[in-house]
Amino acid sequence: MEIIARNLSKFFGRNLALNVANIKISSGQITAIIGPNAAGKSTLLKILALLLKPDSGEIIFNGKNISAFTPARKLALRRQMVYLPQHPVIFSGSVRDNLAYGLKIRHSQNIREKVEQALRNFSLPMISERNARQISGGEKHRLMLARALVLETEVVFFDEPTTNLDPLGIKITEEIIENLRQQQRTIVLTTHNLILARHFADYIYFLDRGEIVQQGSAEDIFQHPGNCRIAEFTGSPNILTGEIIDAETFLTDGLKIFIARSEKRGPAAIIIRPEEILVSPEPIIHSSARNCLAGTVRQIKPIGLVRELKVQISPRNFLTVLITAESEQKMKLQIGTGVYLVFKATAIHLLEEMNETGQQIV
């Protein structure tokens, strides 16, 4: 099912919580909505799931604007979707009763068989007759998943599906999402779990202060963040702030860094990905890499066969770089060792710096 929403807004009191110009959920794909706390992710998800009415805008399902739908038609559409909240909502009665509830109100066929299958699929047979409100947190989560997915809807909305789960719960949830992908269900999820978003999402929207500030594939969002807030949220380690002083020079903390030619001038920020940086015990001058920065090793962190170095390049600037354990031994690195960091101007990704009100100033 394809979902398109345009010019959505939602106020809570006088506060504008959501202001989304355009969002498209492609049929049979996984769409992730990520962003900081209070960005409006859950509000947007509930509006798309027809659980919350926007103050303005239009929502189109498979090419048809729902504003013209009768209440009965909206109900029929709503029953093609299921919404899983961040915290399990458990009904009174047994685990079995909970699983049957949605099927009964939809007048489904073969309810008993579907319930038995769901109990087996989610490892719930042993507690099927227990009071659902008295089972453990992990069991409640599995029950909520089973109760939603037994309905076999076209669209599944997940609100923070892995929040507060232990590793086993996360693994179960990820397996369910993968199974739904293979069935070509349409999935929309909000998440702070960046590994989940990066691994599963076909398309990602980054929401900040109620607005979509970047969209694209996982590669677009994580490798080419649009501004500092996105870069920080997605965990980019090497963000340097400063200013572009000419077409090929970025100045930060008194340090000049050569960048690919840019027409921009003034305050800006850059990212240098760790894998783009070469560590050398001596300066490398005759190279296509224009940047060769002297630095001091301040931290060495073993990560399997790789070493993560934190190198100070100026009084307030540090760069994270990756080397092999073999290279660490050859260079005899330790805390306080002087090194040179070498990288090309084209390895630098230019960000739009943000001022205190969140407006772009580059």
pLDDT in tens, 79-116: 999 999 988 889 999 999 999 999 999 999 999 999 99
Contact between residue 128 and residue 95 where contact means Cβ atoms under 8 Å apart: yes
**157: helix, strand or coil:** strand
Report the top-level CATH class of 229-351.
Answer: mainly beta
With 70 as the cut, is the pLDDT of residue 355 above it? no
Per-residue pLDDT reduced to its tens digit, 100-158: 999 999 999 999 999 999 999 888 999 999 999 999 988 898 899 999 999 999 999 99
Q: What is the pLDDT of residues 160-169, one digit of tens each?
A: 998 888 888 8
Rounded to 5°, the CA angle 71-76-81 comes to 120
Indicate the CATH number for domain 3-223: 3.40.50.300
Q: How far apart (Å, rounded) are the C-alpha atoms in residues 126 and 157?
A: 28
CATH 3.40.50.300 positions along the chain are 3-223
According to the model, what pLDDT value does residue 353 have?
A: 55
- CA atoms of 109 and 229, how far apart (whole Å): 50
Q: Are 161 and 175 in contact (CB under 8 A)?
A: no
Nearest to 206 by CA among 186, 187, 220: 220
How many whole angstroms separate alpha carbon 262 and alpha carbon 244? Answer: 9
- Model pLDDT for residues 253-268, shown as the tens digit of each residue: 999 999 998 888 999 9
Alpha-carbon gap, residue 137 to 143, rounded angstroms: 10
Q: Which two tokens stand for residue 261?
A: 């030619």
This prediction's pTM: 0.85
Where along the chain do the CATH 2.40.50.100 domains lie? 229-351
Question: What confidence tier does 356 reach under pLDDT thresholds 50, 70, 90?
Answer: very low
Please state the rounded mean pLDDT for residues 215-239.
Answer: 91
Residue 361 has pLDDT above 90, yes or no: no
* Neighbouring-strand partners of residue 225: none
